[in-house]
Structure 1
C-alpha cells in the first residue's frame, strides 16, 4: 500500500494549529515526528520506515521536553505566590495587636491581619507574606 506524503505534512500542520489552542509544547513535539515521517517519505523510505521515524522522533522529542524546564511544572502554593496574589510583598501599617491578630486598613477596607509564625508584634509596618482566605499573613518589615 502506497501512502501519500501529503498526509505527514497535513498531520504536522493540524498538530501545530491544535497546539495554539492548548498552550503546551507536547503537540509540537509530536508534530516534529510527523515532519520526520514526511522527510522520510520525500527521501523514498518505505511506509513502515516512515512511521517508525515519526514515532521515534516524536518519542525522543517528548522525552526531551519532559526533562526540560518547560515540561515539568511544579505546583506552587497560590496563597504565597506573588505572581498570583499581587498583594504579597505590599506594606501595611498595623496600630494595635491582640494575641497575634489585628484589624488594619488596606486598600480602602478593613482586613483581618495575622502574624506569620515566629514574628513579633513590636513593629509598626508589616509586609504581606501570604493570604489565607480573607486574612493577610504579615511579617515585620525590616
Structure 2
C-alpha cells in the first residue's frame, strides 16, 4: 500500500469520527493528514510527511482555537434573537402587580411579564429582553 493511501485513509477516518462526535478540531487534523498525503504524492520521505502532518494539523488546531476565542460565546436560547423571535419585540404594560409581575396581551395571548431586576416597574412600552420559561423579561423603552 502506498504511503499516500495511508494518509488519505487517516484523513477520511478523522472526518468520519468528526461527523460522529461533532468536534471541529478533527477536521483540522484531517487537513494535516491531507497535507502529508500530498507530500507523499510528490515523493517526500516519511519523516517529512510526518512533520508536515504535525505542523499543518497542529497549526490548524491552534489557529482555530485562537480564532474561536476572539468571538463572544453565543447567548442562551432564551436571550438569543436568532433562536427566539420574541426578543426585541415591543409590548405595552398598563400596570404592575405588587409582586413585580404584570399581564400583557402579546401575540394573541396573555403573558406574564417581569421587569429586569434593579429597574423600577414603570408602565408604558417595554422591549422583550429574554424569555424565561413562560414569562417575558422586559426592559423599559
Q: CA deviation at 1:111?
A: 1.1
Q: CA deviation at 1:51?
A: 2.1
> Helix, strand or coil: the match of 1:32?
helix
| Range that drifts further, 23-32 or 81-90 | 23-32
User: What is the TM-score with the length of structure 2 in the denominator?
Assistant: 0.78
The alignment yields a C-alpha RMSD, in angstroms, of: 2.8
For the pair 1:80 / 2:79, whether they are aligned, the reply is yes
CA distance in 2, matches of 1:121, 1:62: 49
> Helix, strand or coil: the match of 2:123?
coil
Give aligned pairs, total. 140
For the pair 1:101 / 2:107, whether they are aligned, the reply is no
CA distance in 2, matches of 1:72, 1:62: 16
User: What is the TM-score with the length of structure 1 in the denominator?
Assistant: 0.78
Q: CA deviation at 1:64?
A: 0.8
Contact 1:3/1:47 (CA < 8 Å) preserved in 2?
no
Q: Summarize the alignment of residues 51-90 of structure 1 with structure 2, pairs less than 5 Å apart.
A: 51-69=50-68, 74-90=73-89
Contact 2:96/2:122 (CA < 8 Å) preserved in 1?
no
**Gaps (5+ residues) in structure 1?**
none
Q: CA deviation at 1:12?
A: 3.1
1:55-103 superposed Cα distances (whole Å, 9 cap, x missing partner): 2221111111111138977253332222222111111122221122111
